[in-house]
Amino acid sequence: MTYLPEHAKAVDTHAEEVSAEIARSWLLVNATKTDTFDAAAASRADQVILDIEDAVDPAAKPTARADVASWLSGGGSAWVRINDRTTDFWSGDVDALKGIPGLRGVMLAKAESGAHVTETFDRLGGSTPVIALIESALGIEEARSIAEARGAFRLAFGSGDYRRDTGTGADDLAMAYPRSRLVVASRIGRLPGPIDGPTVGSSHPVLREQSALAVTLGLTGKLCLDVEQLPVINEVISPTRSDATWARDFLADFESRGRVIRDGSDLPRLGRAQKIDKLAQAFGIRPL
């Protein structure tokens, strides 16, 4: 289902906090810029990720890690993108973050096997959710085992690193395969829809187009690097007002006729209506 941008003024973006299971916008924040943490937490991002991986020079990683742990321990709350399992930084990351109250979960960079996810989950104490960031050809091909791994919470697409690894172009056709692999793997693993990679640049029309394409392919969230992108992402990945109205009307009619199934199309429409209604309520979208 493609969501069209017809409802920009009908969405209360932060009437309530949006849960990570259905979060649309995931704001990546450079962990060396500690002065931006509070502003990011107060922004329109559904979820915030403090980045101690690619955004941080290797020499600065220990300091950035300590600063993130300090902010989380002092009342802050966010996800943290940690270094991948094969690096020397991974062990220090998980040890520093384990048990911190403000840690919502971790995004594991460059996940390439289910074992990477489960080892991270176990080292963090067995209760911290892990978003597997898939950024390579091997990761895409192992997406199902990653999605089914103990501790996996959602999959995310590291589109830039994937293109670098494979030599793939950035056009829609070239990127449809890896995105679809993540969607299918997430469904098999009974995970929420995957999170798309970021759109680089300041063009809102391009961001709107790429966000809509991601929704069409079945992705349900998007990474972003700029707070200016948040309203567009939240709008495009939400149901429209007309979607919400149709869903409410269908569900009301279904109840009024005693929940009787009339034909083979009723069950698919019921499932779609229930999903749209749930999202519309969570995102504060008012029906027409």
pLDDT digits (tens, 9 = 90+) for 65-121: 999 999 999 999 999 999 999 999 999 999 999 999 999 999 999 999 999 999 999
| 17 is annotated as contributing to ligand binding | no
Mean pLDDT of the region 12-37: 87
Domain carrying residue 212:
25-236
Instruction: Note whether 181 and 147 are within 8 A (CB).
Output: no
Sort 175 into a burial class: Cβ within 10 Å, 0-12 / 13-18 / 19+: buried
Rounded to whole angstroms, the Cα distance separating 129 from 105 reads 5
Residue 202 backbone phi and psi in degrees, to 5: -110, 5
Q: Are 229 and 254 in a shared domain?
A: no
Question: Is the pLDDT assigned to residue 157 strictly greater than 80?
Answer: yes
Q: Are 161 and 66 in a shared domain?
A: yes
Question: Is the pLDDT assigned to residue 1 strictly greater than 70?
Answer: no
Rg over CA atoms, the chain: 19
Decide if 6 is inside a domain: no
As given in the structure block, the two tokens for residue 89 are: 């930084």
Residue 152 has, within 13 A of its CA and on its CB side, a CA count of 32
DSSP for residue 203: -
| 57 is annotated as contributing to ligand binding | no
Decide if 8 is inside a domain: no
Mean pLDDT of the region 262-281: 88
Q: Are 52 and 155 in a shared domain?
A: yes
Question: Is the pLDDT assigned to residue 252 strictly greater than 60?
Answer: yes
Decide if 18 is inside a domain: no
| Vertex 82: Cα angle to 79 and 85 (nearest 5) | 140
pLDDT, residue 253, reads 84
Decide if 150 is inside a domain: yes
What CATH number did the domain enclosing 157 receive? 3.20.20.60
Decide if 260 is inside a domain: yes
Number of domains in the chain: 2
Question: Is the pLDDT assigned to residue 3 strictly greater than 50?
Answer: no
Q: Which segment of 44-53, 135-144, 198-207 scores lowest on mean pLDDT?
A: 198-207
pLDDT, residue 16, reads 67
> Could you give the C-alpha distances from 260 to 1, 153, 251, 266, in angstroms and in order?
25, 35, 12, 9
Among candidate residues 86, 1, 78, the one with its CA nearest the CA of residue 38: 78
Region of residue 24 (phi > 0: left; psi between -120 and 50: alpha; otherwise: beta):
alpha
Q: Are 247 and 161 in a shared domain?
A: no
pLDDT over 90, % of the chain: 77
- Tell whether the torsion through CA atoms of 51, 56, 61 and 64 is positive or negative: negative
Residue 250 has, within 13 A of its CA and on its CB side, a CA count of 21
Decide if 192 is inside a domain: yes
Among candidate residues 158, 221, 186, 222, the one with its CA nearest the CA of residue 166: 158
The set of residues, in sequence order, having a beta carbon less than 8 Å from that of 115 and lying 6+ positions away, is 85, 149
DSSP for residue 36: G
User: What is the tally of helices (H) and strands (E) in the chain?
Assistant: 12, 8
Q: Please report the DSSP string for 126-192 in residue order.
A: S-S-EEEEE-SHHHHHTHHHHHTSTTEEEEEE-HHHHHHHH---SSHHHHHHHHHHHHHHHHHTTPP
Q: Are 125 and 256 in a shared domain?
A: no
Amino acid at 120: T
pLDDT-based confidence at 10, cuts 50/70/90?
Answer: very low
| 135 is annotated as contributing to ligand binding | yes
Query: In the predicted model, what is the mean pLDDT of the chain?
Result: 92
Decide if 288 is inside a domain: no
Q: Each residue of 163-179: pLDDT tens digit?
A: 999 999 999 999 999 99
pLDDT-based confidence at 254, cuts 50/70/90?
Answer: confident
Q: Are 230 and 271 in a shared domain?
A: no
Question: Is the pLDDT assigned to residue 9 strictly greater than 80?
Answer: no
